[in-house]
Chains A and B, each alone.
Chain A
Amino acid sequence: MDHITAPIEVHGLTKRHGHVIAVDALSFDVQPGRVTGFLGPNGAGKSTTMRIVVGLDRPDNGGTRINGMPYNRLRWPLREVGALLETKAFHPGRSARGHLGALAAGGGIPRRRVEEVLDLVGLTNAAGRRAGTFSLGMAQRLGIAAAMLGDPGVLLLDEPANGLDPVGIRWLRDLLRSLAAEGRAVLVSSHLIGEMALTADQVVVIDNGRLRADTTLAALTAEHGSLENAFLTLTTNGEGGRDGDRDQATDVGRIPTRRNP
């Protein structure tokens, strides 16, 4: 990995949690100018991969780079990468404005960006309220505002549609599409296959920590008939052959974990 091949590079990534292999020799790149959907059943290793990309967890083997650098060596991390990894990554007693103001100070970002991103996510009127009083959807919008604070060229969003209402989901889809159209690299994981089929250009499918597909949405859909069929065929969650029973499996069968509450 000497030259930069993509804004996000995942190379030979392996991560164990005790005896369980969460990510197993995973490699893929995320290119600019498109939305890359990151799909896989629960426990497939999506969140673990994203946590390693932003330097929260250390890999056992392999590595990840953003714009050619490990995350913790970026000079201005928030200006290069925006990440939304959990719905609630804020102190409940602090206002949205205070939260974003603190992050802006840490990231060397002008204060006026705080008002700009509050406006972008539609939280201007709630900006002075304690964020602990926010609904799930508002909390998610605050997380998206924090990710957009540094106007970054790379975005990683783990389940950003969580808690958003239909209007919010439509708004998020348009936002992600326009961010990609501006030339940013956008990696977004979701359990909502139908939503992903409307949002993504590129699709990375993983299962048991291993890469199962890394191709365009068009190619995957052409081969399997639909993204949902592709997902169920490529991952063990589907077990194959019981498509009718598994229409809502991705949401109904969702098991809360510490990382994915």
Chain B
Amino acid sequence: MSTVSTHDRGYGYAHAVRMEWIKLRTLRSTRWTLLAAIASAIGIATAVGASEHTDPVSDVTNSILSGVAPGLLLLGILGVLTMTSEYSSGMILATLAAVPNRLRLLAAKATVFGLAALAVGEAAAFLAFFAGSAALPQGQPAPALDQPAVLRAVVLSGAGLSLVSLLGLGLGAILRHSAVALAVFVVGALLVGQFALVFAPSAARYVPLGIVANSLAVATPKADALSPWAGLGLLCLYAAVALGAGGWLLTRRDS
């Protein structure tokens, strides 16, 4: 049997991070979803790039980066499921047995999943950019990464994917049931924007999907959208509020 020395501070955040990293790596469905996010970005960006018409005022970077949209949905859903599947499978019992500190657990999950989503998001954004640029018709001027506004658009698109996935993770921690959390995420983060465009166009700029599409993924900022940095800040705020509320509830509810 193990004995515990009195000078030992015990398990910490690093142990929780290692646990969550192994959990992330050992699910085949997670790997496929992350790959699908990248593959769909490349595919759509190629199609969009190839059908781009010569138009000197259009933001070609923005058009191509629309390729990350399916990845946004996939990573957000994966974020929701990363939390809710703990409850639906019963895994949460084993997880909390190892790491009973709920806040430490959620922080570790957010770190591991957020960084993985950031890596995948940046990969999706850059590969979409290269694929879309390469697919542009002859004569169409291609954007270049040495233009600061273009580089910013690509980098922030990848970051946007990570932040939306963290919003999903937070929603999962708040709601715990997969179906409910997925519905709230898809409607709240994505569909509301479509309705807003029709009924309250001025509100559309605050919807996560709209922020990524019209504030982050732009080389030329749009008049009716938040500026890139304001959009990034608001997405950070959404993710922080969702994770904060999720953490607060995790520490107060029975598991």
A binding-site residues for B, Cβ under 8 Å: 51, 54-58, 71-72, 74-81, 83, 85-86, 88-95, 98-99, 101-103, 105-108, 146, 150-153, 182-184
Contact = CB atoms under 8 A, between A and B. Distances in A.
Given A77-B97, A106-B15, A152 B26 contact: no
A74 B100 contact: yes
Contact of A146 (B2, B19, B94, B96): B94
B223 interface: no
A85 B91 CA distance: 11
Nearest to A130: B28
Contact of A58 (B8, B18, B254): B254
B99 interface: yes
Given A56-B255, A151-B1, 9 more contacts: A55-B96, A78-B98, A80-B4, A89-B93, A89-B94, A91-B85, A91-B91, A106-B19, A152-B2
Given A57-B255, A74-B10, A77-B100, A90 B91 contact: yes
B6 to A, nearest CB: 9
B94 A108 contact: no
B202 interface: no
A21 to B, nearest CB: 15
B10 A76 contact: yes
Interface in B43-101: 85-86, 89-101
Contacts of A92: 89
Contacts of B89: 88-92
| Chain B interface mostly | helix
Interface hub of A54, A75, A98 (most chain B Cβ within 10 A)? A75
How many residues of B sit at the interface, in one of the four size bands? 35 or more
Contacts of A85: 93
Given A57-B254, A88-B89, A93 B96 contact: no
Contacts of B10: 74-76, 108
Interface in B1-50: 1-2, 4, 8-11, 15-16, 18-23, 25-29
B93 to A, nearest CB: 4
Nearest to A131: B89
A216 B4 CA distance: 30
B19 A83 contact: no
A184 B1 contact: yes
B15 A108 contact: yes
A95 B95 CA distance: 15
A74 B26 CA distance: 28
Given A78-B98, A80-B4, A106 B28 contact: no
20 contacts: A75-B8, A75-B11, A76-B11, A77-B98, A79-B4, A85-B93, A89-B92, A91-B86, A98-B22, A98-B25, A101-B22, A101-B26, A102-B20, A102-B23, A105-B19, A106-B15, A108-B10, A108-B11, A150-B2, A151-B2
A106 B98 contact: yes
A107 B85 CA distance: 21
Contacts of B86: 91
Interface in B89-144: 89-101
